[in-house]
Amino acid sequence: MRLETRTLNAAQSSVSRRMAMVRRKNTEPERALRSALRRLGIRFRLHDRHLPGSPDIVIPGSRIAVFVHGCFWHRHKGCTRATSPKSNVRFWTEKFEANMMRDAKVARELKAAGWHVFVVWECQIKADAIKPAERIAARHRLREAVIGVQRKAKVQKVIRARASLPRAGDVPPLLSSGQV
């Protein structure tokens, strides 16, 4: 809140545009979501700078990246928090567009690298942090299971190749179960 006010003042005096670009970390909604995830037994890393957009929460085992977005800065569609300032309209329009474009680019890059991207809005967390945490946890378990099956299938394939077993008619159940 304090930073937003300061940023607004900075914009009005057009002092520091760079400051407006600084992403706030460890915000209250972020911390609320983190503790909800912890309560569900999910282990994660924070602000992984090796990944596009340094996602706020990263679950490496299931390749899940979570962004906690402020409704104002990232323009939550239809949300009452996504207000549009009446002055410095051009500055804000450009800022918002840049934010949204960056968000879309980051999500594309992560998805291309095999990550599942979650965007959780601050208003959702403020309403109930458990709900988004449960969605993430459910997806985590599903992906973890799928990744485990894929790994086992790969191992089976290597074993089969090494043993030079005939392929046809000798497909292990893991590969024929229809799971991806």
| Residue 82 near residue 76, CB atoms below 8 Å | yes
Q: Work out the widest C-alpha separation in the chain, in whole angstroms.
A: 74
Q: Closer to Zn ion by CB, 38 or 126: give it.
A: 126
How many chain residues are in contact with Zn ion, going by CB under 5 A? Answer: 6
The single residue among 51, 59, 64, 71 that binds Zn ion, judged by CB under 5 A, is: 71
Q: Closer to Zn ion by CB, 79 or 153: give it.
A: 79
The single residue among 8, 40, 79, 130 that binds Zn ion, judged by CB under 5 A, is: 79
Query: Within 91-150, which residues bind Zn ion (CB under 5 A)?
Result: 121, 123
Q: Which stretch binds Zn ion (CB under 5 A): 17-25, 56-64, 66-74, 99-107?
A: 66-74
Provide, rounded to whole angstroms, the least separation between the CB of residue 120 and Zn ion: 10
Q: Which stretch binds Zn ion (CB under 5 A): 36-44, 74-82, 147-155, 163-171?
A: 74-82
76 binds Zn ion (CB under 5 A): yes
Written as six digits, the tokens of 81 are: 């928090």
Q: Please give the single-letter amino acid code of residue 117.
A: V
Write 17-25 long-range contacts (CB < 8 A, 24+): 20/95, 24/70, 25/56
Written as six digits, the tokens of 102 are: 């960056």
Dihedral of CA 173/150/68/25: which sign? positive
